[in-house]
Amino acid sequence: MTARLRETLHAAAADVPAYPVYERALATARRSRRRAVLAAVAALVLVALTGAVLPLTRTPAVDPAAGADAALPDRIALPPLGALHATDRPRLGPASVIFSGQAARLQGWDEDGIVGVVGADSDRYRIFSMGYEAPVGEQVVLSPDGRYVARPAGLYDDPRFDVIDLVAGRTRQIPSAVADSVGTTPLAWSPDGEHLVVNDTVPANPEGSSYRQVLSIVTVDGKRRTRLTDWIEQPIFGSSVAFAPDGGRLAYQIGRTVTVADPDGRAVSSFQLPAESWLAGKGAWTTDGALTLVSRKAGTTDWSLRRVDPATGRDTAPLPLPGVSGVTAIRLLGWGPDGSAMVVAYQPEPLSPDRFDQPLEMDQRTAYPNVRSVRVLALTPGATAPRTMLTAPEQVLAVDVADNVISAGRTRDASPPGGVGGRFWFWTILITVLVSGVAAYRAREGLALWLDDRRVRRTRGPAG
């Protein structure tokens, strides 16, 4: 090679830009590291979500027969913070008790009117939100077998009601068949769980200053409806509808009148109630075909049950049951196998301005502001005092019990869950993973350098 050629090649090489081999290699390594970190974070998020969601989505459905050993817990507690919803997996299955009130965990942060649900044979708790205060046993009712809960839609001018299936985890929306209805409220289940008595509210004039109430029997699928009666607004106790045990008759109270009808809506008889007496509740029918009233002794807060002829309303054989004192009201749930009457007793709110030893309509006696708590009592024939079967925390203000739990007569020592529920852990894991992912992404440059430094130290270590 001549000197001139060598000089020419050197000059040409000098004009070629140098390739930053080390810097480019380092940048490529950092880019690869960043991609690996982001992929790892994404994988962690996916794993966390899968682990949190799979228990809620892949658990086998509960066998409807899971409630065969249904029993009444001797106490209930407030739902855990972050409790699973009634339709979440794992499915709850049939319930023994539902309850509502104004306690903190029955109000929620952004939900109002939360209803608690207790499993039939264990202390598993679920919740669902109404969006407004709706007392259970009056506007939210549990089916006889504990599988379904019927509730109003919860929105004004939304004429439908919902049936929540606790076994399948589905909610069926059943629209009203009453023209111009602005709201539908379920009141009572038939013994076979195939029919519901519902009340529709219908404007009675264009101004909406007066309303009619339309009482109907509807099938659970909403395909058939039988009108019972309608009337211009009068006081009506939410649980003043009761089916006979064989489903062949039902009784309902409007104002001070009790009417007995057949399932086709034909009135069989009616009678006027005496002062300070009301149809006892969903368990008003006795096994031998009589009706039961609840009565308050004038000038006191002493309550008792009376047995009457469903055709005339006249007293028949006396009921040898103890009375209940010091409560705003009692409501009859049903009859135990030993002949005990199972009643809900409403404990008075000391700060209430109302006097409970004076005349007061039943819906006012059970209104939330007038109640401090509730208990379920057994009034056993021949006993001198009621026996407490279930207690509830203060501000649990309404309770309903499945008919099969009452008729079976089984009870159990309850151990309500403490701490937090499944939804709390789901959101805690999700938020933790997302925050960690964001932090890792924001620190990706420093993390990549740290990883590179570790790689270099590992490479140089053995050589040193």
Task: Name the residue with higher pLDDT: 409 or 20.
Answer: 409
Assess whether pLDDT exceeds 50 at residue 304.
yes
pLDDT of residue 99: 98
Assess whether pLDDT exceeds 80 at residue 53.
no
**Among the four given CATH numbers 2.120.10.30, 3.40.47.10, 1.10.10.10, 1.20.1560.10, the one describing domain 59-415:** 2.120.10.30
Pairwise CA distance, residues 355 & 360, whole Å: 8
Among 216-225, 325-334, 369-378, 442-451, the least confident range: 442-451
pLDDT of residue 327: 98
pLDDT classification of 20: cutoffs 50, 70, 90: low
Assess whether pLDDT exceeds 60 at residue 55.
no
Closest CA to 171 of 180, 181, 160: 160
Pairwise CA distance, residues 192 & 55, whole Å: 33
CB 291 within 8 A of CB 308: yes
Task: Name the residue with higher pLDDT: 43 or 265.
Answer: 265
Residue-wise pLDDT for 336-388, tens only, equals: 999 999 999 999 999 999 999 999 999 999 999 999 999 999 999 999 999 99
Assess whether pLDDT exceeds 60 at residue 235.
no
Q: What are phi and psi of 406, to 5 degrees?
A: -70, -45
Mean pLDDT calculated for residue range 154-170: 89
CB 89 within 8 A of CB 58: yes
Closest CA to 147 of 56, 79, 68: 68
Mean pLDDT calculated for residue range 216-230: 94
Paired with 201 in beta bridges are 183, 213
Assess whether pLDDT exceeds 80 at residue 66.
no
pLDDT of residue 153: 87
CB 132 within 8 A of CB 139: no
Assess whether pLDDT exceeds 70 at residue 52.
no
What is the token pair recorded at 120? 């039939």
pLDDT classification of 57: cutoffs 50, 70, 90: very low
Mean pLDDT calculated for residue range 211-217: 94
Pairwise CA distance, residues 99 & 112, whole Å: 14
Task: Give the up-direction half-sphere exposure of residue 319: CA atoms within 13 A in the CB hemisphere.
Answer: 24
Indicate left, alpha or beta for 312 from its phi (over 0: left) and psi (-120 to 50: alpha): alpha
How much is the pTM?
0.82
Mean pLDDT calculated for residue range 411-420: 91
Closest CA to 303 of 350, 348, 370: 348
Residue-wise pLDDT for 125-143, tens only, equals: 999 999 888 999 999 999 9
pLDDT classification of 412: cutoffs 50, 70, 90: very high
β-pairing verdict for 250-254 and 257-261: antiparallel
Closest CA to 342 of 394, 401, 412, 278: 401
Mean pLDDT calculated for residue range 214-223: 93
Assess whether pLDDT exceeds 80 at residue 296.
yes
Assess whether pLDDT exceeds 80 at residue 2.
no
Paired with 250 in beta bridges are 243, 261
pLDDT of residue 24: 56
pLDDT of residue 107: 86
Mean pLDDT calculated for residue range 380-400: 97
pLDDT of residue 389: 98
Could you tell me the strand order of the sheet in which 160-165 lies? Answer: 141-142, 148-152, 160-165, 170-175
Amino acid at 49: L
Among 56-70, 175-189, 292-306, the least confident range: 56-70
pLDDT classification of 236: cutoffs 50, 70, 90: low
Pairwise CA distance, residues 88 & 75, whole Å: 24
Amino acid at 352: S
pLDDT of residue 16: 54
pLDDT of residue 457: 73
CB 283 within 8 A of CB 342: yes
Q: Residue 187: helix, strand or coil by DSSP?
A: strand
pLDDT of residue 458: 74
Mean pLDDT calculated for residue range 12-26: 55
pLDDT of residue 51: 43
The DSSP 8-state label assigned to residue 61 in this structure reads: P
Q: Residue 15: helix, strand or coil by DSSP?
A: helix
pLDDT of residue 453: 73
Q: What is the rounded average pLDDT for all residues in the chain?
A: 85
Assess whether pLDDT exceeds 70 at residue 234.
no
pLDDT classification of 436: cutoffs 50, 70, 90: low
Assess whether pLDDT exceeds 70 at residue 441.
no
Q: Residue 56: helix, strand or coil by DSSP?
A: helix
Assess whether pLDDT exceeds 70 at residue 101.
yes
pLDDT of residue 174: 95
Portion of the chain with pLDDT greater than 70, in percent:
76
Closest CA to 238 of 172, 329, 319: 329
pLDDT of residue 423: 63
What is the token pair recorded at 408? 């079976």
Pairwise CA distance, residues 126 & 79, whole Å: 7
